[in-house]
C-alpha cells in the first residue's frame, strides 16, 4: 500500500523531469481556463452593467406613453399610427392615482427640448415639466438645494432643478443654486441640482436633464400644441415589485375605458421596466453563456493535449511501469500515479489560467468601462472543471498503464 505523500512525490518528480513538456501540456489548460474565466467575467460585467443602469431609471416603475405598441417588441412608437401624441392627459394620471390599487406615486410629465443659456454658455438639454412626485417615481435625489413644491408647481413659477451634466456645463465654476438661467425667452431661478445617475441602459445620459414645474413647461416652453391638458408621459410607481404586473393590467384596463379603445387598438403603451430589465439581462446572459461555451472548447482541446502527452508518457515509460509492478506496485498504485500526474497538470494549469483570466478580465472590463464581476463560485468552478478535465482525459492513459502486463513491459527496450 503506497503512502499518499509518496504518490504525490512520484507524480511531481515525473512532471519535473520533463519541465518543458509539462509546461506546454499545461498551457492548453491555462489558455482554456483563462479564456473561460475572462469571457464569463466580461459577460457578467456587461450583464451587471445593463441591470444596474436600467434599474437606475426607477424601481417598480411603469411608464405610460402615448402611441401604440409595435407588434412583437418592447420598443414602440411614441406617436405611432395607432394614436395621437396627445392621447394622454392629466385626467388619466389623476384617474390612475384614484382608481388603481397598490400604486405608490403617479407622476405625469411633459417633455420639451429647448436651449438653456446661463452666463454666456448655452446647452440643449431635455426639459421635463414635472410634478414634485416625479422625484420619488423615478428615484431621483436632490444633491444640492431643493425641489419645487406643489404650490410652486400649480402657480407655474419660473424655477428649475438641473441634472448634474447641465449644472456642470452651464455653471462650471459657480454654485448653480440661486443663479439664473434663460430658456424659451424667460428667466428661471435654479433652486436645486439632482444627484448624478449616469448613463441609462440605452446609452443615454440621464443627467442631461432640467426639471421644471409641469404647468410652467406647458404654458411657457412646449407651446400651445394640442390639448391644454395633454402630457407626454405618466410615471406610475407600484408599491412593490410583486404587484407590478397587476398594476400594469389595471392601468391598461382603466385607460382603455377612458379612451374607449379595445385591446390591440390602444393609443397608449404601458412599459414595464422590470420586464425590460429582465429581457436585457437574459440577452446578456445568453451572450455570457455563448462566450463561456466558445472558450470551453479551448479547455476541451487542452484536455485532449493532456491525454495525448499522457499516452506518449505511458508508452515511453512502459519498462518503468513493468519494473514498478515487479517490485510490488498494484494496478491501483500505477493508476493513481498516472492519474495524479494528469490531474496535477490540469489543476496547475487551472490555477495559473484563473490568475491570467482574472487579470485579463480586469484589463478588458476597465477598457470597456464595465464593472468587474468575478464570483468565488465561478473561480472555484474553473478550478474544479480543470481538475475534472484532468480526471477525464487522464483516466484512459492511466488505465492503459495500470493494465500493462509486467512481463511484456519489462521485455520492452
Partner 1 sequence: MALLVDARGLVKLYRMGEETVHALDGVSFTIARGDYCAIVGPSGSGKSTMMNIIGGLDTPTEGKLVIDGADIGAMSDAELAQFRNRAIGFIFQSFNLLPRLTALENVELPMIYGGVEPKARRERAAALLQRVGLGERMGHRPTQLSGGQQQRVAIARALAGKPPLLLADEPTGALDTTTGAEIMALFDELNREGVTIIVVTHDHEVAAAARRTIEMRDGRIVSDRLNERSARHDAHV
- Chain residues binding partner 1 by CB under 8 A are 1-3, 5-6, 10, 13, 17, 319-320, 323-333, 406-407, 410
Hey, how many other C-beta atoms are within 10 angstroms of the C-beta on 242? Answer: 10
- Taking the least distance from each CB to partner 1, the nearer of 14 and 62 is 14
CB-wise, 338 or 385, nearer to partner 1? 338
Q: For 327-375, where are the alpha helices, taking DSSP H only?
A: 331-367
Tell me the closest approach of the beta carbon of residue 320 to partner 1, in angstroms. 6
Backbone angles phi, psi at 120, to 5 degrees: 85, -10
We find the least distance from the C-beta atom of residue 17 to partner 1, in angstroms, to be 5
User: By C-beta, is 82 or 339 nearer to partner 1?
Assistant: 339
Whether 345 contacts 22, CB under 8 Å: yes
Nearer to partner 1, 159 or 401 (CB): 401
Residue number with CB closer to partner 1 (256 or 319)? 319
- Strand bridging mode 142-145 / 103-113: unpaired
Query: Which CB atom, from 154 or from 330, has the smaller least distance to partner 1?
Result: 330
Q: How far apart, in whole angstroms, are the C-alpha atoms of residue 279 and residue 46?
A: 14
Place of cell 415589485: 241
CB 134 within 8 A of CB 128: yes
Q: How far is the CB of 326 from partner 1 (least distance, A)?
A: 5
Residue 16 Cβ, how far from partner 1 at the closest point, in Å? 9
How many other C-beta atoms can be found within 10 angstroms of the C-beta atom of residue 150? 11
Give the separation between CA 148 and CA 192, rounded to whole angstroms. Answer: 8
Query: How many Å separate Cα 110 from the centre of its chain?
Result: 30
Q: How far is the CB of 5 from partner 1 (least distance, A)?
A: 8
Query: Shortest gap between Cβ of 4 and partner 1 (angstroms)?
Result: 11
Beta strand 180-183 with 116-118: parallel, antiparallel or unpaired?
antiparallel
Say if CB 194 and CB 143 are below 8 A apart.
Answer: yes
Q: Give min distance, CB of 19 to partner 1, in A.
A: 13
Q: Least distance from C-beta 406 to partner 1, angstroms?
A: 5
Q: Which is nearer to partner 1, 72 or 328 (CB)?
A: 328
Q: How far is it, in rounded angstroms, from Cα 70 to Cα 266?
A: 11
Cα-Cα-Cα-Cα dihedral of 379, 385, 387, 389, to 10°?
Answer: -150
Choice between 10 and 168, CB closer to partner 1? 10
Residue with the three cell numbers 413647461: 217
Nearest residue to 247 via CA among 390, 96, 373: 96
3-class DSSP assignment, residue 132 = coil
CB of 372 to partner 1, least distance (A): 44
What is the DSSP annotation of 362-402?
HHHHHHTT------HHHHHHHHHHHHHHHHHHHHHHHHHHH
Nearest to 37 by CA among 310, 324, 338, 291: 291
DSSP structural state of residue 70: P
Quick one: 160 or 401, whose CB is closer to partner 1?
401
Minimum CB separation of residue 283 from partner 1 in Å reads 55
Q: Which is nearer to partner 1, 227 or 330 (CB)?
A: 330
Amino acid at each position: 500500500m503506497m503512502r499518499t505523500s509518496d504518490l504525490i512525490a512520484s507524480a511531481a518528480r515525473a512532471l519535473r523531469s520533463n519541465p518543458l513538456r509539462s509546461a506546454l501540456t499545461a498551457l492548453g489548460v491555462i489558455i482554456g481556463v483563462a479564456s473561460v474565466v475572462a469571457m464569463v467575467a466580461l459577460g457578467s460585467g456587461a450583464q451587471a452593467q445593463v441591470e444596474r443602469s436600467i434599474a437606475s431609471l426607477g424601481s417598480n416603475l411603469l411608464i405610460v406613453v402615448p402611441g401604440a405598441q409595435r407588434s412583437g417588441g418592447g420598443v414602440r412608437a411614441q406617436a405611432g399610427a395607432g394614436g395621437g401624441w396627445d392621447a394622454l392627459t392629466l385626467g388619466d394620471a389623476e384617474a390612475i392615482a384614484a382608481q388603481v390599487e397598490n400604486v405608490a406615486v403617479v407622476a405625469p410629465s411633459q417633455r420639451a427640448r429647448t436651449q438653456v443659456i446661463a452666463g454666456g454658455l448655452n446647452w440643449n438639454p431635455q426639459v421635463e415639466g414635472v410634478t414634485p412626485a416625479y422625484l420619488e417615481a423615478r428615484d431621483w435625489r436632490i444633491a444640492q438645494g431643493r425641489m419645487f413644491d406643489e404650490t410652486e408647481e400649480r402657480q407655474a413659477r419660473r424655477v428649475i432643478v438641473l441634472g448634474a451634466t447641465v449644472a456642470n456645463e452651464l455653471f462650471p465654476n459657480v454654485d448653480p443654486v440661486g443663479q439664473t438661467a434663460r430658456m424659451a425667452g424667460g428667466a428661471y431661478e435654479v433652486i436645486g441640482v439632482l444627484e448624478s445617475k449616469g448613463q441609462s441602459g440605452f446609452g443615454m445620459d440621464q443627467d442631461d436633464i432640467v426639471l421644471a414645474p409641469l404647468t410652467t413647461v406647458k404654458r411657457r416652453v412646449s407651446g400651445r400644441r394640442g390639448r391644454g391638458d395633454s402630457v407626454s408621459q405618466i410615471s406610475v410607481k407600484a408599491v412593490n415589485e410583486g404587484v407590478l404586473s397587476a398594476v400594469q393590467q389595471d392601468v391598461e384596463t382603466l385607460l382603455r375605458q377612458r379612451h374607449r379603445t379595445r385591446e390591440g387598438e390602444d393609443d397608449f403603451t404601458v412599459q414595464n421596466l422590470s420586464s425590460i430589465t429582465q429581457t436585457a439581462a437574459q440577452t446578456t446572459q445568453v451572450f455570457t453563456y455563448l462566450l463561456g461555451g466558445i472558450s470551453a472548447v479551448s479547455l476541451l482541446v487542452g484536455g485532449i493535449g493532456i491525454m495525448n502527452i499522457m499516452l506518449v508518457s505511458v508508452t515511453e515509460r512502459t519498462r518503468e511501469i513493468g519494473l514498478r509492478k515487479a517490485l510490488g506496485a498494484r494496478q491501483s498504485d500505477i493508476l493513481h500515479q498516472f492519474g495524479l500526474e494528469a490531474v496535477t497538470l490540469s489543476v496547475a494549469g487551472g490555477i495559473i489560467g484563473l490568475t491570467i483570466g482574472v487579470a485579463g478580465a480586469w484589463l478588458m472590463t476597465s477598457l470597456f468601462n464595465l464593472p468587474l464581476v468575478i464570483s468565488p463560485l465561478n473561480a472555484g468552478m474553473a478550478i474544479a472543471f480543470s481538475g475534472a478535465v484532468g480526471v477525464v482525459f487522464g483516466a484512459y492513459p492511466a488505465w492503459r498503464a495500470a493494465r500493462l502486463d509486467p512481463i511484456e513491459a519489462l521485455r520492452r527496450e
